[in-house]
Amino acid sequence: MTFELTELSLAEKAALGSGQDFWTTKAVGPVPSLVLTDGPHGVRRQAGATDHLGLAGSLPATCFPPAVGLGQSWDAELVRRVGVALGRESRNLGVDVLLGPGINIKRDPRCGRNFEYYSEDPVLTGVLGAAWVQGLQSTGVGASLKHFAANNTEHDRMRSSSDIDPRPLREIYLRAFAHIVRTAEPWTVMCSYNRINGVPAAENRWLLTELLREEWGYQGLVVSDWGAVSDRVAAVAAGLDLQMPSSGSASDDAVVAAVRAGTLDPAVVDRAAERVAALAAKAVAGRADVEPHDAPEHHALAREVAAQCIVLLRNDGGLLPLSPSRSIAVIGEFAESPRYQGGGSSHVNPTRVDTPLAEIRALATGTVTYAQGFTTDGSPAGALSEEAVRAAAQAEVAVLFLGLAASQESEGFDRDHIELPAGQLALLTEVLAVQPDTVVVLAHGGVLRLAPIGAPAILDGALLGQAGGGAIADVLFGAVNPSGRLTETVPVRIQDTPAYLNFPGENSHVRYGEGLFVGYRWYDARELEVGYPFGHGLSYTSFEYSDLAVDSASADLTVSVTITNTGDRAGREVVQCYTAKPDSTVVRPPRELKGFRGVYLEPGAGERVRITIRREDLAYWETRTDQWIVEDGDYEVSVGASSRDLRCVAKVSVSGDQVRLPLSLESTLGEIMTDPNAGPVLEFLAGNAPAGMAADGGDALGLDLARMMASVPLGKLVAFGAGSLAELEQVIAKVNGPS
């Protein structure tokens, strides 16, 4: 199906490019109106008042685990299934485009919106985000890949400039976007509020046209974040197709006026209108078969998914799983009113909410007592903590629910610290004093400092969606063997974090001074201790890794390793594969995640697990020639259960890209010495060596002359008598060959 636009006037085409109201586009000529709405972990379809902060109500929809929880599954197939379920609900609620997934990189644990993002790692983010988009779009509903790009703080998000060098921009912040655009073809991409190196994303031609369309081949539509456009004409010229929400008719009129004044190419307006029409065609086709979804079935899926997202951080002495017959003191307000999603535009009105307390009671056969223990609104706990300590002492085991309240983290602002409330920590100390068998269950959207949590067992649920209560009970009692993994490093202290000195920025500039060293890349390079490493997560069983092999016969590498369940329970192991290039000619993190795969094994069973490392993921961004380069030579490939629990390592030789950096008068002697093609230049220099600078000239003084001279540019040698500039230029031109 296509909608023909030839009959439309300029004004009508311009009108297609901005919203009709908060959530819909305009019906113009043959093109029908479309409904776009949030997303991403549930459908926020507002029937009455509209807003982008999750304030006014919305129709009931299943609240799946937000990305902070979902990501911890490290399970693309599971994420795809969530995408399918979200698509069905969108269709039933009359939604054409669901505004997600959010795939910004978690640069700093304080970012208020980290709960809506997957990880500090771009490969993990890319794989999970692509699965979400594929699942959703398989139902005829479009995704909106957001927030493009480099939107990594909430503070000042509508003005501030993310000032990033080209390598981290490409290798960390844009990598997942590129991967998802290429492999999952999201119907829409949402440009962010912020500036990138000074240029607003909505008006950034390099971002929206040169990179997204010309380099990555994107065919879909670019929509603005809600209210991100200040200058519609500049935005359309840069490559924006749809401004949301409505701006009245003012910005449409501005587009028409600019075309009439000759300052905006009418072809650009035509193209934007065609993209809106193409989106409408896909949406209308998708509306055709709407199968009603079953809310209880989706709730059951939400429970299954949530259980896969729980990370067993610690389990000293095998305290977990609990025998259902033990008497349990359940403590903490979150057991009764769980924190299961984040605040802001993604806030969903759940179809129901399971509480951990009720679900524990449903599975336990022994006595279960409950004590609130503390308040989440900051009011004094008074006798609550005494009651909780008493309950803990009287039971055989205590399960203490700790976490952050909704008011402590949200879209729209960043946190100032990563601490749990002091009152909760004080209660934990008191409970531990009377009950050593204490399990802590955590709820939070952003990373917490966990050093003060001295409990022998810790389950990290992050945010688990509406069915998280049942999932927690399933894991506590061992009905589900936990297999979630951290997608972010838990630091020992906030002062250790990579962006500590550059967050959240100043005077509307955020300097990404840590460069490539985001998340575990930083802690590994600095050899810092961490609270819990990236990729960490325990199981009720154990796994052995053996026989690592790497096949480099084709462009991508195939890594194979045998995983054996050596414990006495069935379980899933998430096998993680990292690479390193210790002899790289450019700065590189000590190791980087390149692939992963989950494997479910019965006790005693083993399986050969294969992980593909895509060649493109080995590449670094070469700033001198603006291109991706796979370096030649040996790479280290390690596999393991976390970034700091690597079990096997192998070396593989990769044939790299043949890249020639042209020589110039700016090339240094050091660069010349390592360039295999630079022979003629070296010969020329040998014949014109400045007096006293012969290769062995420093020996007598014990100097390493070659090293001292390595940084001297060729052109500067002329001043020391190494021939004339013209002669040098001639030799250089000969080496560079025909240009």
Q: Give the footprint of ligand BGC on this chain (CB under 6 A).
A: 38, 52, 99, 146-147, 225-226, 345
Q: Which of 225, 354, 460, 474 is catalytic?
A: 225
- Nearest Cα neighbor of 66 from 94, 106, 34, 20 is 106
Measure the CA–CA gap between 317 and 717, rounded to whole angstroms: 69
Measure the CA–CA gap between 200 and 207, rounded to whole angstroms: 10
Q: From the DSSP assignment, how many helices (H) and strands (E) are in the chain?
A: 22, 26
Is there a contact between 542 and 131 (Cβ–Cβ < 8 Å)? no
Q: Which residues of 218-251 are buried (b: 16+ CB within 10 A; e: fewer)?
A: bebbbbbbbebbeebbbbbbbbbbbbbbbbeeeb
The verdict on whether 414 is a catalytic residue reads: no
Amino acid identity, residue 84?
Answer: V
Measure the CA–CA gap between 446 and 113, rounded to whole angstroms: 8
Measure the CA–CA gap between 611 and 548, rounded to whole angstroms: 11
**Which residue's CB is nearer to ligand BGC, number 150 or number 593?**
150
Q: Are strands 620-622 and 627-629 parallel, antiparallel or unpaired?
A: antiparallel
Cis peptide before 504 (omega within 30 of 0): yes
Amino acid identity, residue 361?
Answer: R
**Which residue's CB is nearer to ligand BGC, number 40 or number 332?**
40
Structure tokens at 513: 């001074």
Measure the CA–CA gap between 91 and 673, rounded to whole angstroms: 63
- Nearest Cα neighbor of 489 from 481, 499, 504, 474 is 499
Q: What is the DSSP string of 713-727?
A: BHHHHGGGTSS-HHH
The SS3 of residue 601 is strand
Start-to-end CA distance of the chain, whole Å, equals: 47
Beta-carbon contacts of residue 46 (< 8 Å; ≥ 6 apart): 22, 23, 37, 56, 57, 58, 59
- Nearest Cα neighbor of 420 from 471, 386, 468, 454 is 454
Structure tokens at 453: 């949590």
Amino acid identity, residue 596?
Answer: F
**Locate tokens 């389950």: which residue?**
459
Q: What is the DSSP string of 260-285?
A: HTTSS-HHHHHHHHHHHHHHHHHHHH
Measure the CA–CA gap between 283 and 97, rounded to whole angstroms: 8
**Which residue's CB is nearer to ligand BGC, number 207 or number 601?**
207
Least Å from the CB of residue 244 to ligand BGC: 8
Side-chain half-sphere CA neighbours of 657 within 13 A? 15
Residues in the chain: 739
Q: Report the catalytic residues.
A: 225
